[in-house]
Amino acid sequence: MNLKSLLLGAAASLALAPTAYAERGADGQLNIIYWQAPSTMNPFLSGGTKEVEAASMVIEPLIRFDEQGEMVPMLVSEIPTVANGGVSADLKTITYKLSDGIKWSDGSAFTASDVVFTWEYCTHPEGGCAQSSYFDGVSNVEATDPLTVKVTFAEAKPFPYTAFVGSESPIIQKAQFENCMGAKAPECTDANFNPIGTGPYVVDEFKPNDVISLSANANYRDASKPAFGSVKFKGGGDAAAAARAVLETGEFDYAWNLQLAPEILDKMEMGGKGVVVVAFGTSVERLHLNQSNASADLGPDMRSVYADGKNPHPFLTDPKVGKALSMAIDRQLLVDVGYGKAGKATCNVLPAPAAYASTANDSCLNQDIEGAKKLLDEAGWKVGAGGIREKDGVKLSVLFQTSTNAVRQDSQALIKQWWGELGVETELRNINASVFFGGDPSSPDTFQKFYADIEMYTNNFSGVDPEAYMANWRCSEIPGPDKQWQGSNMQRFCNPAYDALVTEMSKTAELSKRGDLAKAMNDMIMASYSIVPLVHRGGQSAHAKTLGGVKMTDWDSELWNIADWYRIK
């Protein structure tokens, strides 16, 4: 790891050699548009992607991920590993050596006490820190000397690069936030809007949910960077307008998250002012097939309640039905219609990183409606009245819900037609995203409550380690009325063998073994057909042709290397 990161660092500095001679601020202003506007610059108070990315220009973590998902040291001299002694042999501690001479933008020195403070700030019980899961399992963080931080875990942590790694876990300055702990956090408006950071830019003016004006940090560690003297970070509007401003009118240099129909984006790109860039992370658009009975006739105590398997779905618990539904789908067509370059057909709920991606299920890539019909015939589902299949008086009729979003509605229509060809009746429903993804236990329309047979949305995990993500589908994670519908096992999948694999992974350190375990878990879920993956989704952004140095990534903030961006003249 160490050698690799050194090599990477060397490669990076070689690649950037032409701009290394540039003067700080020589390239004027950089205009960025995010069509969802950031509401604060403190990512601990709001976990939204837009806030995290905006803040990543100002405050930095110790280690970032590059466009390949590899770790890059930012504020530390090297990445600690077991080999270089940075990680203890029992996997219970990790020790970071901070780089010497790094300064906050106010000129004061960056020290280990700031790192310790960040941990205290985010784990304060009254603070409601949105990123506190990055500190899960951390029992102590201490500064052994001004430039050394030791993180101790309660139990062995095979993948210890969570706290202070990645744009969601940046370091804030102790001096600035000292009086903003816990319940007082929201009262420090000035600090939350203008955090002092170690990053390439400082906030000049923050207009919440509107526009951020930034200028180059005079104390940034590389004297020749950043090339742009100022940044205007505009928010608001919609994806089409943001794409237009970069690709067609050239008013802006960079536009984020352009979820648009492929033909529209292609047409805009032909405007010639900019290019679309794509990066893939771990996001997968998938169908969840409810394993519990979601019939509207059941009362609130039983509807979509797993009840230890005593309330099964009338037909979706049968993997043959799930398999037939999956076989009827032409995933590549879903990509072509809705995602374009930003999507790849996939048969795995865990499609990346490469070491964890299974290849056992790839046969699903080919649509096979005839095969699906045969499968249903064999399983005893005969075509009945109105062309709808039935067995023992149960009709293959599903309620299919998702959040409101143009691409999802197109996918729904396509899938409904394919299932119709099989003889499966589908009722579509779309729900306002803020209700669907909101956890309001009183609403019948949340994705946790799952008052439908099938639902579709995208999920992913941040960082590069899938351990916590795969643990989502343990039996204990099934949402239900007893725990206010909290939980992340939406499809109510429960298999003791799966839970055993989860436990095993939490004790395994060796990377190749972890990969095998993750693949086994992925394949187990795929075989149950409780999750039907559809599209591996990437982030899609656009930048002006005159903007150089962009290394689009989905593993970290898209602006992770904004210090290296420059104007092509």
Partner 1 sequence: MLTYTVRRLVLAIPTLLFIGLVIFLLLDLAPGDPTAQLPLTIPPEVREQIRQSLGLDEPLPVRFGKWMVQFCWVEPQVMIDSLFGSHLAEGQQRVLSWQTRSPVMDIVWQRMPQTLWVVGTAYLVAIVIALPIGIYSAYRQYSIFDNVGTFISMIGFSVPPFFSGVLVIVIFAVNLGWLPSIYDTTHAVNDWDSFVVQLRQMVMPVMVLALQITAQLSRFMRASMLDNLNQDYVRTARAKGLSERVVVLVHVLRNSMIPVVTVIALGIPQIFGGAIITEQVFKVNGIGQLLISAIQANDIPMVQTLTFIFAILIVLFNLIADVLYGILDPRIRYD
Partner 2 sequence: MTEDRRTTAEPDLTAEVLDAVLTSGPVPLTPPRSQLSEVWSQFIHHKGAVAGGVVFLLIVFAVFLGPQIWTLDATYIDIRARNQGPSLAHPFGTDQLGRDMLSRMMIGGQTSVLVGIVAMSLGLVLGTLIGVLAGFYRRLDGLLMRLTDLFLALPLLPLLLVMVMLFRDRLSAAFGPETGIFILMVTAIGITSWMPTARIVRGDVLALKEREFVLAARSIGTSNLMLIARHILPNVVSPIVVSATLGIANAIITESALSFLGLGFPPDFPTWGRLLFDAVDYMQQNPERVIMPGLAISLTVLSVNYLGDGLRDALDPRIRGR
Q: Which residues bind partner 2 (CB under 8 A)?
A: 240, 260-261, 263-264, 267, 296, 333, 337, 403-404, 406, 409-410, 412-414, 416-417, 427-433, 435-436, 442-445
If the CB atoms of residues 40 and 326 are measured against partner 1, the closer one turns out to be 40
Q: Compute the least distance from the CB of residue 533 to partner 2, in Å.
A: 21
Q: Which partner, partner 1, partner 2, none, binds residue 488 by CB below 5 to 8 Å per kind?
A: partner 1
Cα 268–Cα 272–Cα 275 angle in degrees, nearest 5: 75
17: Cα separation from own chain's centroid: 32
φ, ψ of residue 499 to 5 degrees: the values are: -60, -35
CA 222 to chain centre: 30
Judge whether 524 and 501 are in contact, CB under 8 Å: yes
The sign of the CA dihedral 51, 54, 60, 64 is positive
Give 4-61 as a DSSP string: HHHHHHHHHHHHTHHHHTSPTTTT-EEEEEESS--S-S-TTT---HHHHHHHTTT---
DSSP-based three-state secondary structure for 237: coil
Contact 262, 340 (CB under 8 A): yes
Question: Closest distance between partner 2 and the C-beta of residue 36, in Å?
Answer: 16
Tokens linked to 121? 């700030």
Taking the complex as a whole, how short is the minimal distance between the CB of residue 448 and partner 1, in angstroms?
A: 8
Residue (of 222, 22, 187, 208) closest to 103 by Cα position:
222
Distance in Å, CB of 314 to partner 1, minimum: 27
473 vs 485, which CB is nearer to partner 2?
485
**Smaller CB separation from partner 2, 138 or 268:** 268
Contacts of 474 (CB under 8 A, 6+ apart): 489, 498, 499, 502
Q: Which is nearer to partner 1, 100 or 187 (CB)?
A: 187
Nearest approach in angstroms of CB 533 to partner 1 is 15
The minimum distance between CB 15 and partner 1, in angstroms, equals: 30
Q: How far is the CB of 426 from partner 2 (least distance, A)?
A: 9
Q: How far apart are CA 534 and CA 349, in angstroms?
A: 9
Among partner 1, partner 2, none, partner that 382 touches (CB below 5 to 8 angstroms by kind): none
Q: Which is nearer to partner 1, 208 or 481 (CB)?
A: 208
Q: Which does 288 bind (CB under 5 to 8 A by kind): partner 1, partner 2, none?
A: none
Least distance between partner 1 and beta carbon 433 (Å): 7
Taking the complex as a whole, how short is the minimal distance between the CB of residue 117 and partner 1, in angstroms? 19
Strand intervals (E) in 372-424 = 382-383, 389-391, 394-395, 397-403
Cβ 389 to partner 1 shortest distance, Å: 33
Any idea what the Cα angle at residue 128 is, between residues 440 and 180, rounded to 5°? 145
Task: Report the nearest approach of partner 1 to the CB of residue 42 (Å).
Answer: 8
Site of interaction with partner 1 (CB under 8 A): 33, 37, 39-40, 42, 45-49, 125-133, 183, 185-187, 189, 192-193, 205, 207-211, 213, 232, 234-238, 240-241, 244-245, 248-249, 251-252, 271, 433-440, 442-443, 445-446, 457-462, 486-488
Q: Which is nearer to partner 2, 411 or 553 (CB)?
A: 411
Helix 239-247 with 262-269: angle, nearest 10 deg: 20
- Name which of 445 and 453 has its Cβ closer to partner 1: 445
Whichever of 145 and 301 has its CB closer to partner 2, that residue is 301
Q: Which does 429 bind (CB under 5 to 8 A by kind): partner 2, partner 1, none?
A: partner 2
* Among partner 1, partner 2, none, partner that 46 touches (CB below 5 to 8 angstroms by kind): partner 1
Rg (C-alpha) for the chain, rounded Å, is: 25
* CB distance 470 to 505 below 8 Å: yes
- Out of partner 2, partner 1, none, what residue 40 binds, judged by CB under 5 to 8 A for its kind, is partner 1
Complex with partner 1: residue 458 or 546, whichever CB lies closer: 458
Contacts 24+ apart (CB under 8 A), 27-30: 27/227, 27/228, 27/229, 27/566, 27/567, 28/228, 28/229, 28/230, 28/567, 29/228, 29/229, 29/230, 29/231, 29/232, 30/228, 30/230, 30/231, 30/232, 30/253, 30/254, 30/547, 30/562, 30/565
Whichever of 216 and 334 has its CB closer to partner 2, that residue is: 334
Q: Which is nearer to partner 1, 183 or 500 (CB)?
A: 183
219 backbone dihedrals φ, ψ, rounded to 5° = -105, 20
Q: Which does 235 bind (CB under 5 to 8 A by kind): partner 1, partner 2, none?
A: partner 1
Choose among partner 1, partner 2, none what residue 264 binds, the Cβ cut-off being 5 to 8 Å by kind. Answer: partner 2
Instruction: Kindly tell me which of 269 and 445 has the beta carbon lying closer to partner 1.
Output: 445
Question: Which partner, partner 2, partner 1, none, binds residue 446 by CB below 5 to 8 Å per kind?
Answer: partner 1
Kindly state the smallest distance separating residue 408's Cβ from partner 2, in Å: 8
**135 Rama sector, left if φ>0, alpha if ψ -120 to 50, beta otherwise:** alpha
Rounded Cα–Cα distance for residues 404 and 387 (Å)? 29
Instruction: Dump strand ranges (E) for 350-432.
Output: 382-383, 389-391, 394-395, 397-403, 425-431
The entry of partner 1, partner 2, none near residue 267 (CB within 5 to 8 angstroms by kind) is: partner 2
